[in-house]
A and B are shown apart, each in its own frame.
Chain A
Amino acid sequence: MIIYLLRRLGFILITLILASIIIFGSTQLLPGDVAQVMLGKFATEKALENVREELGLNKPAYVQYFGWLKNFVRGDWGNSMVSRQPVRPLILARLRNSAMIAVVALLFYVPLGILLGVIAALRKEKPLDQIISGFSMAFVGLPEFVTGLLLISAFAFRFAIFPANSSIAPGSTFIEAFPSLILPAIAVSLTGLGYIIRMTRASTIDVLSTGYVMAADLKGLPNAQVLSKHVLRNSLLPTITIVSMGIGYLIGGLIIAESVFGYPGLGRLVVYGIQRRDVILIQACSMVIVMIYSISNLIADMLYSALNPRIRYR
């Protein structure tokens, strides 16, 4: 198993490097004259030159790239082109805010999704399953901006329970921030909920039809035992993979939800960076996001290998 994990780790590192090339390439190397892109049509030649100097655009591509990568790995993520402040503390603070929503969302939709998915599978084709499946299908189809706006109109306008605008003061604690993050968390959760329900249901149905579940029943084991030891133990394994893939969608949802609610998270920062064409900010934010995603995939991988006897014991 050790070799397997080492291979996965190496693989993730390579993927990160290639992803960084894509990020850097798309933002700095590809778009023609970046300086022009950033400053717009009416920029003076001097201003353009300054930007080019600053970003090192006159150096060959690979030099730019490696320089950037080296700095990034050392912790120097550059200064925002707009605010001229170092981006790192800003990103980390925003990351913390986004993490708060993400954790709340995950704690909500993962257990609930698994529970409902298993129930739907156990009551397959019966009314309860139809209802759950129907809702999960609907949730999957609800873009976060729609859900977000609906939530605002219901809970902020109609019943003024929560603020319509979720901006929180920097450095707020979780408790202080909670009222502001609950609505975006729900918006982000619904799509994930639908996805997890559908996938868990499918995986559980597959396991229910196997020969070993029938064999377990025929051993005379109590229903609860068959369910926990034979059905769930096998159907929840793929759930790990499912949840980890869902995090990619979660991140996308966060970007949108933070924009809808005006919540000061990392997603909103990226959008801001793109709108203001702040190349340095975009690069740093994207790298951080990709790193987090990769780490979560790695953790899921490790968990899966530890729990799957086929991998654990050769």
Chain B
Amino acid sequence: MKKNRRRGASWRRLKHYPATLVGFFIVGFFLLMAFIGPLVAPYGYSDQNLSERLQPPSREHIIGTDQFGRDVFSRVLVGSRDIYLTAGSGALLAVLIGLAIGLIAGYFGGLVDEILMRLIDVLLAIPPLLLAMIVLFSLGSSRLNVVIVVGFLYIPMVSRVVRSVVLDLKTRQFVEAAKLRGETSLYIMFREILPSVLPPLAVEASMRFSYAIFLVASLGFLGLGVQPPSPDWGLMVGEARNFFSQAMWALFGPAGAVVILVVSVGFMSDGLRRMLLPGGVSE
């Protein structure tokens, strides 16, 4: 009786990689802020105070104020909710639909697979940011549309990853054994194949989340995403751009938050990969 000690998700493995643990922690912190941000923030996110415009960092305003006298620190905190909501929902949408497409294309193969993959290739032929900009132009700039665009944009990569896992699993003999029992396609896809798809999907989802934050922030910067007065970090940077020389803090506060979060999600994805996908990990 051999117990294979190596398998199974384990946090223990991460003790060699402290950066990944820090990543988890920071992501968790911002997630917490997403929920309690408005309660904890010293000021309201849209509280204007024109007499205190463009104030440098001080005791009252940890990161200073912006061009409308709003407290940058509070806006950054509350902005967590924005970014998690927008980028998170977008990534989630991409994952769910990408999972469905990848499962169907991978499992059924043939014409269905060909068509789906060609469509995906077409989407991939347009540089991502450009595609996002065009579709937002078409649909109009709103939070919902940004979520849709982000989701839509990342479906190809997610479905590719799922599809390749499914293709690999499809040829495994336990799937053939299921066919020999007359199991329906639905059963095989969900009960036999899906459980093994979830770990790599989780890792991919986490990476998509980091790309989504990146994209949402970039769109916000260009003013093409979520509209004011939303405390969207990218938007904050874009708005403060004109006051760059006078109030750098209003710019680097939210910019810094974006960078910290994206990098943390990146390290967290690495951690997830090490935890969930033992063996054959070349990072």
Contact = CB atoms under 8 A, between A and B. Distances in A.
Interface of A: 11, 14-16, 18-19, 22-23, 25-27, 30-31, 133-134, 137-138, 140-146, 149-150, 152-153, 157, 198, 201-202, 205-206, 209, 247-249, 251-253, 255-256, 259-260, 270-271, 274-275, 277, 282, 286, 289-290, 293-294, 297
Contacts of B238: 145
A249 B124 CA distance: 11
B283 A252 contact: no
Contacts of A137: 19, 263, 266-267, 270
Contacts of B137: 26-27, 31, 274, 277, 282
Given A143-B258, A146-B259, A252 B134 contact: no
25 contacts: A14-B118, A15-B121, A19-B126, A27-B134, A137-B19, A140-B263, A140-B266, A141-B214, A141-B259, A143-B262, A145-B217, A145-B237, A198-B283, A205-B283, A251-B127, A252-B127, A259-B221, A260-B241, A270-B133, A271-B224, A275-B223, A289-B127, A290-B125, A293-B125, A294-B125
A309 B120 CA distance: 28
Interface in B51-109: none
Contacts of B217: 143, 145
Contacts of B241: 149, 260
Interface in B256-281: 256, 258-259, 262-263, 266-267, 270
Interface residues of B, number: 48
B263 A205 contact: no
A134 B245 CA distance: 31
A121 B222 CA distance: 37
Contacts of B283: 133, 198, 201-202, 205
A277 B133 CA distance: 12
A271 B238 CA distance: 13
Contacts of A294: 125
A179 B132 CA distance: 31
Nearest to A138: B263
Nearest to B138: A26
Interface in B224-263: 224, 234, 237-238, 241, 244-245, 248, 251-252, 255-256, 258-259, 262-263
Contact of A146 (B129, B224, B258): B258
A113 to B, nearest CB: 16
B122 interface: yes
Given A140-B266, A205-B282, A274-B224, A248 B259 contact: no
| A interface secondary structure, majority | helix
B135 interface: yes
Interface of B: 19, 118-119, 121-122, 124-131, 133-135, 137-140, 210, 214, 217-218, 221-224, 234, 237-238, 241, 244-245, 248, 251-252, 255-256, 258-259, 262-263, 266-267, 270, 282-283
Given A26-B134, A138-B263, A141-B262, A157 B245 contact: yes
Contacts, number: 144
Contacts of A152: 244
Given A256-B218, A282-B137, A290 B126 contact: yes
Contacts of A30: 138-139
Contact of A256 (B129, B134, B256, B259): B129
B128 A248 contact: yes
Contacts of A133: 283
Nearest to A121: B282
A146 B236 CA distance: 12
A23 B125 contact: no
Contacts of A140: 262-263, 266
Contacts of B134: 22-23, 26-27, 282, 286
Nearest to B129: A252
Contacts of A150: 252
A277 to B, nearest CB: 8
B48 to A, nearest CB: 24
B130 A15 contact: no
Interface centre among A146, A152, A275 (most CB of B within 10 A): A146
Nearest to B217: A143
A255 to B, nearest CB: 6
A26 B130 contact: no
Contact of A22 (B122, B218, B255): B122
Contacts of A249: 127-128
A105 to B, nearest CB: 15
A247 B125 CA distance: 11
A149 B244 contact: yes
Contacts of B127: 247-249, 251-252, 289-290, 293
Contact of B218 (A11, A18, A143, A157): A143
A30 B262 CA distance: 33
Nearest to B260: A141
A251 B245 CA distance: 28
Between B19, B122, B138, the greatest number of chain A beta carbons within 10 A of the residue's beta carbon is seen for B138
A278 B119 CA distance: 28
